[in-house]
Amino acid sequence: MGQRKGVAWAVGDVFTTANFAIAAIAGLVGYSLLDFERDSRQT
Contact 2, 10 (CB under 8 A): yes
Determine the pLDDT at residue 2. 61
Give the pLDDT confidence of 17-40 residue by residue, as tens digits. 999 999 999 999 999 999 999 999
Report the pLDDT value the prediction gives residue 43, as an integer from 0 to 100: 60
Q: Return the pLDDT at 10.
A: 87
- Which pLDDT does position 26 carry in this prediction? 98
- So where are the chain's domains? 16-43
Instruction: Dump the DSSP string for the chain.
Output: -HHHH-HHHHHHHHS-HHHHHHHHHHHHHHHHHHHHHHHHH--
